[in-house]
Amino acid sequence: MLKPALITAARAGAAEILRFFNGEFKVSNKEGVNNLVTEADHAAEKAILDVIRSAFPDHQVLAEETGEIKQDSTYKWIIDPIDGTVNFAHGIPLNCVSIGIEKEGQMIMGAVYNPHLNEFYFAEKGKGATLNDKPIRVSEETAVIKSCLVTGFPYTYINMPNGPLEIFDRLIRKGVPVRRLGSAAIDLCWVAAGRFDGFYEHKLEAWDSAAGYLMVEEAGGKVTDFTGSPFSVYQHRVLATNGKIHDELLAVINNEIEL
């Protein structure tokens, strides 16, 4: 029953995204610069939570806008109602619903849905990842210099030593294409689908990475933190690749080698 509820919840949130997109809606700013939340974020999150509460009223929830709802359950739904809110607020169709389900501390299922492109990504632990019900796999690229990468920049501490700008600079000066889409969930899914060879970011929250992280692993990729240790959605730094460029890109990120 988890999978039907997850799919229904993702589609319910996406319906709210489409209802508000390119229309008029209230926008406010949370703590920090360009940390937006819109009327649509709240509406999409409510629609998602309504589905979850109806199907599994005892499950825990961690949602970007609502926060954490603790209950006596081994299941936790980790929700980003609109990943890519700045894109959404500017009418850019690179935004999505992202929902991951965790059981006893392990991600077991995830869905990421961009309704603008009609791309529905789904992954289940041990059962692979799909895009619109068709299996997806990571790319076969073996060299960072030939890779197409994607990243995101946090709005805070961007000038930190060996931070986002320094790593970006090292890569693009060697001619490596590095994109910035503005949605970590989409970035991760596009690594899973083989469109990008790798993704790295310095500051993600659990709701940004929960579903996409599982997507990459189930599509045959590798996800770690910046030390190469197994990734947890509760820490900020993430490196997700096809696996074949992982060690080399990790060394570049840590400024241990030059391309």
Does residue 259 lie in a domain region? no
Length of the chain: 259
Scan for tokens 């809606």, then name that residue. 25
Residue 159 has pLDDT above 80, yes or no: no
Domain extent at residue 206: 144-253
Residue 31 has pLDDT above 90, yes or no: no
Among this protein's residues, is 83 annotated catalytic? yes
Do 56 and 30 sit in the same domain of this protein? Answer: yes
Does residue 185 lie in a domain region? yes
41-45, 67-71, 152-156 — which is least confidently predicted? 152-156
Cα torsion for 177, 183, 186, 190, to the nearest 10°?
10
At residue 35, the pLDDT reads: 61
Give me the percent of the chain exceeding a pLDDT of 70. Answer: 95
Among this protein's residues, is 92 annotated catalytic? no
Per-residue model confidence as pLDDT tens digits over 204-246 = 999 999 999 999 999 999 999 999 999 999 999 999 999 999 9
Q: Answer yes or no: are the C-beta atoms of 18 and 93 closer than 8 Å.
A: no
At residue 154, the pLDDT reads: 81
Q: Answer yes or no: are the C-beta atoms of 114 and 95 closer than 8 Å.
A: yes
CATH, residue 190: 3.40.190.80
Do 88 and 155 sit in the same domain of this protein? Answer: no
Among this protein's residues, is 82 annotated catalytic? yes
Do 80 and 126 sit in the same domain of this protein? Answer: yes
Does residue 258 lie in a domain region? no
What order do you get walking across the sheet with 149-151 strand by strand? 178-179, 149-151, 198-201, 238-241, 222-224
For 57, what's the count of Cα atoms within 13 Å in the CB-facing half-sphere? Answer: 1
Among this protein's residues, is 58 annotated catalytic? no
- Is pLDDT larger for residue 76 or for residue 66? 76
Average pLDDT estimate for 55-74: 94
**Catalytic member of 16, 41, 45, 80:** 80
Examine the fold and report which residue of 79, 102, 135 is the final residue of a domain before the chain moves on.
135
Beta bridge partner(s), residue 224: 230, 239
At residue 158, the pLDDT reads: 67
Scan for tokens 């936790």, then name that residue. 76
Mutual angle of helices 164-173 and 246-253, in 10-degree steps: 120
**Catalytic member of 16, 64, 102, 187:** 64
